[in-house]
Amino acid sequence: MSRAEAQGIQPRIERLMLEVTLECNLLCGHCFHRRRGSPLKPRALVERAIATARELSIPHLVITGGEPFTLPVEELGAAVADASACGSRVHMVTNGTLCSHAALRRLRLAGLETLLVSLDGASASVHDALRGAPGAFDHARATIEMAVAVGLSTRVLFNVMRQNQDEVASAVDLCRRLGVATLSFFRCTPAEWCSSLSTGYLADREWSELMTHVIEPRMREEAPPRLLYEPTLIADPVVAELARAANLLPSCIAKRREEVYLANDGYFYACQLALVPELRLGTCGEDICKSSNWKRLDNVEPTGCRGCEFLLACRGGCRSLAYRSSSSFEARDPRCVIEQRRIRLCPQCFTPPWGQLNSQQWNLLLPSNLLTVHP
């Protein structure tokens, strides 16, 4: 029996990620996707995703790739319409280079709610270099403008690495000018086949300092876009215990059973970083519910963390990243830096649990340069 089951926890899956294709027109050095097995036809994948979302009452369906717009817009429109008709809130991730005003309008009318556009720089020189395609930045910017014009909610996904960290502040200004609703910052994820990450990956301390001095001051500005960022995993002992008790610290998505990822090979996985045969959940909703692999993830004890005073706080971090960096599910999360000894929680990513923490305790969990909050 897993710890979640022992505690009577029945997590609800919030989103189903549908990898409708692996075809892509770009060659990004930091992309963690790679071909796996024999792909199913997009229509078969869509039908499997919709059936599973209905069976498990999953509210959000996110169409991703590869690049979805390598498929005919008629095919994408039918997928969006069918998923929307079944009650799913449908979102789509794109690199923004193949979109047209007519295509976005068609998808909006079919029921698409949000367009998520990947942007790796606030300038053409940086973004195009990372994407490996001249003109990619101008196309992505035009796609954002078109999405806003047709009434789609827009979200920009910004992968932060050393090659573009100096453009983080400029990205906020750019998204503000374009009318973007949400701008999310992610640390570029290390994976063994990503060539650019050997020198580009930001360490925990570097990430924390970037968010403290660049992003958090912008969060206080009363203007869109909404800013989100990935928290780090380490806390001092006092704050760690408070955060652990309130269940606030970030933990493995797969452990939380927050999403399922339907890959192009027709199998469901625990998350988009867990695309290895050892972690397959099956091919339908019933398989997912009965899968022993989620239990395996929940019960795995990271041997690299034994004896660490922070283990109860971070719960070992991301098991998929541990596996990808070391081929072992028991290894330490590669983002973990013990000497950091503090927690960074994005103040817009969670709701304060006022029933569990008083305001003085809660303020311990927030960065010192943020406005004081009160219940």
Greater confidence (43 vs 249) lies with: 43
Higher pLDDT, 198 or 183: 183
Out of 137-151, 292-306, 342-356, least confident range: 342-356
**Per-residue pLDDT reduced to its tens digit, 311-340:** 665 667 777 777 776 777 788 776 665 433
- Cβ neighbours, 10 Å, residue 252: 25
% of the chain beyond a pLDDT of 70: 70
Which of 135, 42, 146 lies closest to 97 in space, CA to CA?
135
pLDDT of residue 305: 75
Confidence of residue 367 (pLDDT cuts 50, 70, 90): very low
pLDDT over threshold 70, residue 207: yes
The residue ranking higher by pLDDT, 100 or 361, is: 100
Residue 148, pLDDT score: 97
Q: For residues 116 and 144, give the distance between their C-alpha atoms in angstroms, rounded to a whole number.
A: 9
Helix boundaries (H) for the chain: 3-6, 42-56, 73-85, 101-110, 124-131, 136-149, 168-178, 197-200, 204-210, 216-219, 237-246, 253-256, 285-290, 292-299, 311-314, 319-326, 359-364
| Model confidence pLDDT, tens digit, residues 88-127 | 999 999 999 999 999 999 999 999 999 999 999 999 999 9
Q: For 151-194, what is each residue's pLDDT tens digit?
A: 999 999 999 988 999 999 999 999 999 999 999 998 886 554 44
**List of residues 6+ apart from 359 with CB closer than 8 A:** 373, 374, 375
Q: Which residue has the higher pLDDT, 26 or 279?
A: 26
Asked if 42 and 71 count as a contact pair (C-beta separation under 8 A), the reply is yes
pLDDT of amino acid 289: 80
Q: Quick one: which of 301, 360, 308 has its CA closest to 328?
A: 301
Q: What is the CATH number of domain 3-231+254-291?
A: 3.20.20.70
pLDDT at residue 4 greater than cutoff 50: no
How high is the mean pLDDT of the chain?
77
Position 230 pLDDT exceeds 60: yes
* Mean pLDDT confidence for 225-232: 76
| Confidence tier at 375 by pLDDT (50, 70, 90) | very low
Alpha-carbon distance 116 to 129, whole Å?
Answer: 21
The two tokens of residue 227 are 């800013």
Measured CA to CA, the distance from residue 221 to residue 268 in angstroms comes to 40
